[in-house]
Amino acid sequence: MPASAVVQNHEERISFLPTERLIAEGTWTQSQQRLLEVLQHEEYRYASIAKICRLAGYSGNTLWYEAMKDERFVAAIRTLGVKRSPNDLPRWQQRLLEVVQHPENRTISGAEICRRAGYKDPCPWQRAIKNERFVAELESLGVPIRKHHLPPHLAVEPAIDIDEELTKDVWDIRRFKHDYPKHVSPATYEVNFSKIDNPVLREQVKRYFRLRLTQWEAGTFQRALYHLNSVLALLPSDIHVGTLQRHHIEALLPAMSQLSPIQLSKGLRTAKTMFEYMTTSPAWAGPRPPRFLIWEEDIPPRPEALPRPIPPDVLDQFDPLLEQAEKAIKEGQEPSILAPVFWDALLILRHTGMRFEDLAHLKAPDERGKKGGANTVSLLVPAMG
């Protein structure tokens, strides 16, 4: 009898059992039984796998995926209603799930899933995995959404074996760069090459980024890869730098025209810079693409960002608070909200239009009025976030 028929027969048999008997009479492992005990509660049957495992007393999701290898466990959770119909999800999310229903599509990247669902870029996938309901559907199919937390800046150790680190598909640039802005999130310095499906092309892009380590600032790597992916994701899956031709670029231009003008401009400009480097640089040891893959006339002019003043209704509320704080400080009193140093920062932002990033690096004068004193705004302002 086929395995699918065995599962169906077992599912039909246990569907007549009450929930309590389903758990008590089944020969489950300890982890399976604890998971099923959580799923007795109807309110948890729509929870993500991570939450179900936490409620069962497990810190990770591994035991769920181990349990899912047991056809009896799969039949049991289906009987409990854990396998839910995705019909209540938005249609665009249903299209992504329809692709993942096929087992051969469960190990491909989100960008490739989007492509097979009929989308030109990976944005739908990135939006969908923020939806806990969508993630729960994926995990019930055995597609884990791995979440990890990067260490804080102060806990980062420099790479000991740099060559080994650079062979990985995910880089933490902080391990290669000593000097990088500390006021931004650690995720800013994560560079994930795994979204490039073609392994040959992936290694070529990694080699290019490796050669840029001494030239680019720490925050440039993630931005460059983000813009590159808007071009690379549209290339045929078997194309790499050694086989890329002008007609491949011409074929993807209509799809790229659906991006915003900034995305289109930056994506093509970043790809053009990389291809020209690979064509002309003596340092490049890989295959050299043809010259003039991307023409200057392919790239639209970058739109100029218009000034964005603070809305008048916000100023109407903020200015009185600022005046109250200034008056309290002059009278030697503490403002009703926030410490005086924060009001100093807000006063600077209000009257100069300075960016917060610039303010965070602004040094306060020392006690003699000289520039570069020890008491710096950059040490105090991040506490506001």
Please report, for the chain, the start and end positions of each structural domain, with discontinuous segments joined by +. Answer: 3-79, 87-140, 153-298, 312-384
pLDDT on residue 371:
57
The DSSP call for residue 190 is E
Q: Considering the entire predicted model, what is its pTM?
A: 0.52
Burial class (CB in 10 A: 0-12, 13-18, 19+), 369: exposed
Beta bridge partners of 192: 170
What local confidence, expressed as pLDDT, does residue 87 receive? 54
Element (DSSP H or E) covering residue 170 = strand 170-172
Contact 174, 167 (CB under 8 A): no
* CA pair distance 233, 242, nearest whole angstrom: 17
> Cα–Cα distance between 309 and 293 in angstroms, integer?
40
**Identity of residue 276:** E
Neighbours of 107 (CB within 10 A): 8
Between CA 269 and CA 55 the distance in angstroms is 49
Query: Residues 8, 11, 16, 18: what is their CA dihedral angle, to the nearest 10 degrees?
Result: -170
Q: What is the pLDDT of residue 221?
A: 97
pLDDT of residue 372: 52
Amino acid at 373: G
CA angle 338, 344, 349 (to 5 degrees): 105
The Cα 375–Cα 379 span in angstroms is 8
Per-residue pLDDT of the chain (385 residues; tens, 9 = 90+): 444 444 444 444 444 445 556 666 667 888 888 888 888 887 787 777 778 888 888 877 678 777 877 778 877 877 777 654 455 577 888 889 888 888 888 878 787 888 889 887 777 887 888 777 788 788 777 787 755 567 889 889 999 999 999 999 999 999 999 889 988 888 899 999 988 989 999 999 999 999 999 999 999 999 999 999 999 999 998 999 999 999 999 999 999 988 888 889 999 999 999 999 999 999 999 999 999 999 999 999 877 777 778 888 888 888 999 999 888 888 888 888 888 878 888 888 888 878 777 777 777 666 655 555 544 444 444 433 4
